[in-house]
Amino acid sequence: MDMKVHVEFENITKVIEVEKGSKVGDLLKKLNLRNVIVMRNDEFLLDDDELIENDNIKIIKVSSGG
């Protein structure tokens, strides 16, 4: 069964369907994203944290420079 999560990335919000029981890492693989910070309700999430139906997820791109 699929569930929907709301994902904000680079000031664009989209509704993404993922399998129930999916984890943050699964979402990042689906979106082909790496080197990002993932947050829910101002809390940092790890790759193994489970997503919840209708989650509001914010993804922030990490960059470094010299």
- Domain ranges within the chain, ordered by starting residue: 2-61
Mind listing the pLDDT tens digit for each residue in 5-15? 999 999 999 99
E strands present in 1-66:
2-9, 12-19, 36-40, 43-45, 56-61
CA 23 and chain centroid, separation: 9
CB atoms within 10 A of CB 54: 10
Mind listing the pLDDT tens digit for each residue in 8-53? 999 999 999 999 999 999 999 999 999 999 999 999 999 999 999 9
The two three-digit tokens of residue 12, written as one number = 């664009």
Cα separation of 12 and 27, whole Å? 16
Predicted confidence at residue 66, as pLDDT, reads 67
DSSP state of 58: E
Name the fold adopted by 2-61: Ubiquitin-like (UB roll) (3.10.20)
